[in-house]
């Protein structure tokens, strides 16, 4: 593979994801690790990328519309948590009822998944979460065991994310994954930020059942980057504001629909 081809592949990956690990570049580029390092150094000198530990990130000048360091695209957590609060509380309660005592579950960060926490205390769960808000809520429950992955803290969302494969996730398996979305439609579940998409795609492979928590406004939300297709989701928990057409769409995809 010629230099120009390698550079284009590296930049294409970064434009899609925002950040990429050295191990993935090693698999894809079919050249020596030393050559990959020289390619990354050259792109960094040209201002197209930023070298980070274990890989590379897209330089701000190349990332039109991408979030800056330490933040993700989309509304900050403190804004999201105040929206549709009553509906989110009902959705969180209904989602918590799907947990069985002693289960190992993953709870992805979000203002709706956070609403599960008050209802989990009697269950004695093992919870893996990337959300510091959820960690804080569960710390008050002596019977709930909490694990967090390795990664970088994004302050506005209080979430821990890593694009790399050595964050400890490969040693964790859960019966259920609970996750939110920026939007959901016929194409599937979407998020605004490519780094969040990459991290959530990795979570999908760590659980037997995928459960999505979204208030009904998310069915009319803007499109974004696709995390997974509707057919990959096992259960969608939403509120009674969901329209008949959206409910039919969910059920036609084979998802179980729970209206809180």
Span 183-199, pLDDT tens digits: 898 889 988 777 778 78
What is the CATH code of the structural domain delimited by 77-259?
Answer: 3.40.50.10470
> Domains of the chain: which residue ranges?
3-58, 77-259
Other C-beta atoms lying within 10 Å of the C-beta of residue 259: 15
Q: Region 35-54: what's the mean pLDDT?
A: 83
pLDDT of residue 69: 46
Q: pLDDT band for 68, please (50, 70, 90 cuts).
A: very low
pLDDT of residue 90: 96
Q: Region 157-182: what's the mean pLDDT?
A: 79
207 phi and psi angles, rounded to 5 deg? -135, 150
How does strand 145-147 pair with strand 174-179?
unpaired
Q: Could you tell me which of 146, 152, 151 has the C-alpha nearest to residue 134?
A: 146
pLDDT of residue 65: 46
Q: Is the pLDDT of residue 154 over 80?
A: no
Q: Is the pLDDT of residue 221 over 80?
A: no
For 88, 93, 108, 182, the CA distances from 112, given in Å and listed in that order, are 5, 10, 10, 11
| Nearby residues of 2 by Cβ (< 8 Å), 6 or more positions away | none
176 phi and psi angles, rounded to 5 deg? -140, 145
**Cα gap 23→173, rounded to integer Å:** 22
Q: Is the pLDDT of residue 216 over 90?
A: yes
Q: Could you tell me which of 54, 56, 79, 59 has the C-alpha nearest to residue 69?
A: 59
pLDDT of residue 76: 53
pLDDT of residue 20: 75
Structural class in CATH, domain 3-58: mainly alpha
Looking at every residue in the chain, the average pLDDT score rounds to 84
CA 127 to chain centroid, in Å, comes to 16
Residue where the block lists tokens 């494969």:
165
**Cα gap 224→233, rounded to integer Å:** 17
**Cα gap 129→108, rounded to integer Å:** 6
Tokens standing for residue 72: 């993700």
Residue where the block lists tokens 């284009």:
8
8 Å CB contact between 6 and 48: no
* 138 or 182, greater pLDDT: 138
Q: Could you tell me which of 175, 178, 185 has the C-alpha nearest to residue 237?
A: 178
Per-residue pLDDT tens over the stretch 79-132: 555 677 899 999 999 999 999 999 999 999 888 999 999 999 999 999 999 999
């Amino acid at each position: 593979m010629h230099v120009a081809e390698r550079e284009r592949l590296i930049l294409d990956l970064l434009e899609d994801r925002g950040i990429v690990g050295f191990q993935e570049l090693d698999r894809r580029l079919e050249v020596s690790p030393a050559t990959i390092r020289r390619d990354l150094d050259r792109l960094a000198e040209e201002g197209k990328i930023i070298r980070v530990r274990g890989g590379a990130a897209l330089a701000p000048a190349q990332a039109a519309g991408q979030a800056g360091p330490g933040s993700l695209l989309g509304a900050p957590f403190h804004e999201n948590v105040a929206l549709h609060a009553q509906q989110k509380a009902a959705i969180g309660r209904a989602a918590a009822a799907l947990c069985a005592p002693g289960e190992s579950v993953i709870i992805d960060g979000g203002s709706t998944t956070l609403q599960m926490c008050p209802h989990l205390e009697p269950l004695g769960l093992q919870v893996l979460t990337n959300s510091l808000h959820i960690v804080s809520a569960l710390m008050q429950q002596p019977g709930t065991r909490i694990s967090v992955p390795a990664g970088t803290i994004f302050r506005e969302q209080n979430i821990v994310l890593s694009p790399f494969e050595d964050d400890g996730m490969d040693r964790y398996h859960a019966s259920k994954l609970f996750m939110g979305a920026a939007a959901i439609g016929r194409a599937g579940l979407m998020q605004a930020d490519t780094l969040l998409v990459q991290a959530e795609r990795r979570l999908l492979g760590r659980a037997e059942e995928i459960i999505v928590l979204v208030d009904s406004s998310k069915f009319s939300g803007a499109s974004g980057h696709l995390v997974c297709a509707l057919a990959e989701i096992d259960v969608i928990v939403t509120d009674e504001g969901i329209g008949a057409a959206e409910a039919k769409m969910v059920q036609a995809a084979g998802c179980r629909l729970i209206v809180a």
